[in-house]
Structure 1
Amino acid sequence: MKPSKNYKLYQIIQTLDKKEVRQIKRVLQSPFFVLRNDVGNLFEVLIKYHLKGKPFPKKEVVFQKTFPNKKYDYVLLRGTMSDLFELIEEYFLIKKRRDGELKTRHLLAEIYRERKLSKAYQSVVKKTTTILEKQPLRNEFYFRQLLDFQLEKMEFEMSNQRTKNFNLAKVSETIDIVFLVQKLKHTCTQFTHQQVFKTDYDFGLLPHLLPIIEQEKYLNIPAIAIYYYCYRFLTGSDGDVFFEKFKAVLFQNKKLFNGHELKELYLFAINFCIRKLNQGDKKFSYEILELYKDGLQANYFLENGILSRFTFNNIVAAGIVTEDFDWAENFIETYAEKIELKYRNQTVSFNLARLEYTRKNYGAAMLHLQNAEYKDLVNNLIAKTILIKIYYELEEYDSLFSHLDSFQIFIRRREVSDFHRKNYMNIIRLVKKLVELPELDKEMRQQLRKEIEKEKVLTEREWLLSKT
């Protein structure tokens, strides 16, 4: 069912699962939350359409089903829809508070402090201290919760004048830790975004804070150390050294971070390795594969059980580059079902084609290329390039020239980036020159090599050079 564009109420209802529907019905039955039965009636009307996957009816039909004995009144319907929307929002807030035990404890402590219920307050503080100490994470979230708790205790102590120093030193230390973790983490994200989108960012205070962070005191805190080393390998010329230190902290302290953070950290590391690989450092292809293998084993790359087709492509590419073909094939077979259904067939066929081409099983590769309709433009371009190389290897020059001509027309007619247009036009032009080279003319072959080497935008440089 497509999301409704008419009302935000419809859109929010379309996100509800069956458990949430049952819980909201209980909320709507409570006189504390609801004083009008028609709000519950409206929910019953709309939820039937949602659960059956049907589009919501026109507002007149909704009104008639909600108020069967009344004449159509848009103002009444709009008011009832607004009340229902607010009640669903209230349910979400209650659910969120229940899911976050530390946040709930903090709110409870604040309530007891404001009501001057000292014994109840101390009981909550004791339980909160135990929860904080026992929970395994020592990440940004932990330090933010710790700071909120410390500030709440300080507020209580100051209002009751229970101590003279009010634990100010510890609060100050936690404030520093929270700021440094957040600043380092955000700057790593900024730098990655800057590399992809060619946008310049001002990193603010961070460059000036590096000498302070480099004190042993702060690097003994894994949440600071891991993002510090990440920042240094992303931004510095001596990235290799900091990359090794990053990996040591990461592998020793995984239990201190949640799955979302670990996925982000792995991707920071993988992107660094890809950059080094593109600069010609072949050893990083093995680093990429090992990071992917480790991340897959821990399910870091899955989102709600789904593996992004882009991540899938990158993992297969890592297996191909390292010539770990059997592992790559097993990965494709094992994780194919994790790809979103609408992209599954084309993604699997595309990657099997890449794998079989590298294994020099050209017939099998061609069959896989023909088995999918590529909706993704970049994959389509890569698939067409693989077919160029297959025709060349098989010396099927008539098919090759026909394919090159149709490929050229395809690029001219499609909206592609300047980089892709230039790159693939260069590939077509240079392949044609390669095929037309006189076999024994060493001078012309050498000239073509120089032309290939000088071309700035050329993703198939290595393959073309291997053929001259």
Structure 2
Amino acid sequence: MIEYFNDLSKKEISKFKAFVNSPYLNPNKQVVKLFNYLRSRYPNIKDSDLDKSVVFKNLFPDKSYNDESIRKLISDFNKVFESFLIQTEFKTDIQQSNILLLRSLRKRGIKKRFELILNDTTKLQKKQFSRDEKFYANQVNLEHEYYLYNFDKYKFTYAKCLQNKSENIDLNFIFQKLHVFNEMLNNQKSVGKTVLFNKTFFDDILIYMENNKKIIKTSHPNLYIIYLQIMMFTHLKKEYMDELKTYLMLNEKKFSRSDNSVLPYYYNYLVSFCLQKINKGETGYRKDLFSLYEKMLPEDLFLIDNVINDYDFTSAVNNILALNKPEWVESFIEKYKKFIEPAFAKDAYNLAKAKIYFYRKDFEKIFPYLNSIVYKNPNYYFNSKFLLVRVYIETGNIREAKYIIENLKQYIREKNILTDEQITIIKTFNKYAIDLIKIILSNDKDKKGLTAIFRKELDNEKNFVPNKAWFYSMTEAKTKS
């Protein structure tokens, strides 16, 4: 844990200092010394600063190095650090803290204070617009505490709180099941092969949601949103996308824009749907996608836990360049390059910059960026190769273009990690690249006929064609030449 000290914010360091210096929370004074040592080097702590011998020498300059002693101190520090993180997370849920306080007050018979806290907690629950698994769990526990507090009273009268408790248990169950169903659907989509999940209660829950849609839409927004998300991806109908988008637009200001805001997740649902449609060849959804992006960019709705997924970053670059909006793409790249998940940040940025230079026909500037890509992910490999094929065709280097196409064919044969969708994308690109080369190499007599066939096939293609607009533009150029 000691190596993660640099990752804390200044505000967290200040809170951690108070935590460490509390004798109740941390009785070990040596841990305070280690904290002060780390704080003196924050936020530029180096690996060498964490070397056990270096730490020991700084904390105990007059003593001989004792490995067992410093190991124990670091272990004790880690425990205090972990306790601080637990406390920090715990404080994010005020309602849970209040319910634990209610439990303690009830057990001790402190009635006036119990009733005051109960009243305040109940009001806070009713005010909450966002209702997730935490909300339902807290409501269940709140009803439970209320029932136990009034246990003698309810021996001889109807306990409505038990009905409320039961309904919130049901809602919590439904909410969590819908979320796991959504995760299953995403896993099936990403794996690209038949995945047989046992979706227990799937049909029953969807029937329940349909039968109670009116009250759920009004009083349980998070539940309604995840329901629309599942319907959207199960049926692949635009009507669910439009309903979800409208519902979000009408209600987004009611959601808290805290660090754990759900809005980026919800907008990501819509983006994912558009991308799935585009990848199946329905490129008209790019306009819907751009409409979402224009909303998301100024409000930082691309970021989830302060990170943008490299796939989302690359998809934005690809699809908005296809709409001929390079200035928007460049602004997007520069704004979000520092937020790309670290494992793929360099590859995603380099590929994005290469695509911008390709769009501007500045071919010489493309190669330094492409040569810097490591190919940690198959998408980077084949998208880089697609770009190279296009560069070589544009510059008349047909031999190199053919060589890259053969590499892509070999890649499909050798890489069993590719999904069915990825294989289809590569094969589709290769087909049209090969056909385009045939047109380029054909004589003037055959060129017009081959071009007409080529464009008709593009028009009727059911699969997603990478760089489809480019293929159209190249046939126009070659026909005129």
TM-score range, shorter chain: 0.7 to 0.9
Q: Provide closer, same or farther for how the CA distance between residues 162 and 296 of structure 1 changes in structure 2, counting only shifts above 3 A.
A: farther
Counterparts of 1:158-173 in structure 2, within 5 Å, are 158=151, 164-166=157-159, 167-173=161-167
Do 2:278 and 2:284's aligned partners in 1 also have CA atoms closer than 8 Å? Answer: yes
Give the Cα separation in 1 of the matches to 2:12 and 2:146.
Answer: 35
Which AA in structure 2 matches 1:205? F
1:37–1:306: structure 2 CA closer, same or farther, 3 Å change rule? closer
* Structure 2 residue matching 1:302: 3-state secondary structure: coil
Cα offsets for 1:372-426 (capped at 9, x unmatched):
2442644564355345445545xx43x3324543675698699866537756665
> Does 2:130 correspond to 1:137?
yes
TM superposition shift of 1:446: 8.4
What is the alpha-carbon distance in structure 2 between the residues aligned to residue 99 and residue 105 of structure 1? 12
Say if 1:421 and 1:223 are closer, same or farther in 2 by CA, change over 3 A. closer
Inter-partner Cα distance in structure 2 for 1:20 and 1:332:
34
Change (3 A) 1:370 1:125: same
Determine if contact 2:57/2:65 at 8 Å carries over to the other structure. Answer: yes
1:137–1:255: 8 Å Cα contact kept in structure 2? Answer: no
Superposition map of 1:247-396 within 5 A = 247-257=245-255, 260-303=261-304, 307-321=308-322, 323=323, 325-326=324-325, 328-333=326-331, 336-340=334-338, 343=346, 346=350, 349-353=353-357, 355-356=359-360, 362=361, 364=362, 366-370=363-367, 372-373=369-370, 374-375=372-373, 377=375, 378-379=379-380, 381-389=382-390, 392-393=393-394, 396=395
TM-score, length-scaled by structure 2? 0.78
Tell me what 2:13 maps to.
21
Q: 2:342 maps to which residue?
A: none
Name the CA distance, whole Å, in 1 between partners of 2:442 and 2:191: 40
State the aligned residue count.
446
Match of 1:174, SS? helix
Within 5 Å, which residues of 2 pair with 1:224-239?
Answer: 224-236=223-235, 239=237
Stretches of structure 2 that go unaligned for 5 or more consecutive residues are: 340-344
Measured at CA, do residues 353 and 313 of structure 1 come closer, stay the same or move farther in structure 2, by a change above 3 Å? farther
Residue segments in structure 1 that go unaligned for 5+ positions in a row: 1-8, 357-361
Partner deviation per Cα, 1:12-41 (whole Å, 9 max, x = no partner): 434333333333333333332344422222
Of the three residues 202, 205, 211, the one matched with 2:201 is 205
Change (3 A) 1:180 1:123: same
CA contact (8 A) 1:329 1:355 kept: no
* Residues 10/186 of structure 1: CA separation in 2 closer, same or farther (3 Å cut): same
Deviations along 1:222-243, one digit per CA (max 9) or x if unpaired, are: 3322222221121126x23333
Q: Could you say which residue in structure 2 is the equivalent of 1:433?
A: 438
Q: 2:465, 2:368 → 1: CA distance?
A: 27
**Is this contact kept in 1: 2:389–2:400, CA < 8 A?**
no
1:262-315 per-position Cα deviation (integer Å, ceiling 9, x unaligned): 222222222222233344434322211112222223321124666555433322
Q: Which amino acid aligns with 1:206?
A: F
2:173 counterpart of 1:179: yes
1:63 counterpart = 2:61:
no
1:153 aligns with 2:146: yes
**One-letter amino acid of the structure 1 residue matched with residue 121 of structure 2:** T
Q: Is the 8 A contact 2:280 2:462 kept in 1?
A: no
Structure 1 window deviating more from structure 2 (22-31 vs 437-446): it is 437-446
Task: Give the Cα separation in 2 of the matches to 1:29 and 1:334.
Answer: 44
Corresponding residue of 2:25: 33
Residue aligning to 2:121: 128
Aligned partner of 1:54 among 46, 49, 58: 46
* Deviation at residue 462 of structure 1 after TM alignment: 7.2
1:388–1:421: structure 2 CA closer, same or farther, 3 Å change rule? closer
* Greater shift in the superposed pair: 37-46 or 427-436: 427-436
After TM superposition, the score normalised by the length of structure 1 is 0.80
Q: Identity of counterpart residues, as a percentage?
A: 19
Question: Is the contact made by 2:130 and 2:255 (CA closer than 8 Å) also made in structure 1?
Answer: yes
1:313 and 1:351 in contact (8 A); partners too: no
1:170 CA displacement? 1.3
Structure-2 change in CA distance of 1:287 and 1:388 (3 Å): same
| 1:136–1:255 contact (8 Å) kept in structure 2 | no
The one-character-per-residue Cα deviations of 1:77-96 (angstroms, maximum 9, x if unpaired) are 33322222222222223333
CA RMSD of aligned residues (A): 3.8
Contact preservation (8 Å) 1:307, 1:340: no
- Superposition pairs for residues 210-221 of structure 1, below 5 Å? 210-216=206-212, 217-220=215-218, 221=220
Relative distance call for 1:423 and 1:242 in structure 2 (3 A) is closer
